[in-house]
Structure 1
Amino acid sequence: MAQIGRTLHGKLVRDRIPDFIAGNGQVPKFRVLPRERLLPALVAKLHEEAEELGSAGQEDVLGELADVHEVLATITTLLG
């Protein structure tokens, strides 16, 4: 009997990740955060992206820096 795989990430996603998952034949389950929970989730995402930037090799630094910039821009927009 085949088992259905599940992966719980429990973190903020972007860049049409649910579409990517669906394109691979899986069914993404996600929720839209209420506004009051969005800032803490974005700050957690900023920490995650900053860690990735800190451990990136020379060839990946610009991509990781772009991710940090995108999160910062989203926080800035959220705060007006």
Structure 2
Amino acid sequence: MIAGGVALACSLSLAGVATYTGAGLLETRREARALHDMVDGYATDLQFARDAMLRQDYQRHGTQTLALALASGTMMVVGAV
């Protein structure tokens, strides 16, 4: 009973962290969209570098968010069982 409660509490904590990293993911996407809207015609080298950085950040946040969400869901099922 105690282990199930602890697992459920951990799953809620992981869900909160997944939400936080997901918010970072959305912010990165908004910045990338704003950068895309700023480019008129051909992008400068600085804009290409910023785009590459945003893409890398987006992938990093995406991987973290997915891993945390899967861990949270697994812990929730384990805690409920």
Do they superpose with TM above 0.5? Answer: no
TM-score with structure 1 setting the length? 0.44
Higher RCO, 1 or 2 (CA under 8 Å, sep at least 6)? 2
Larger Rg: 2
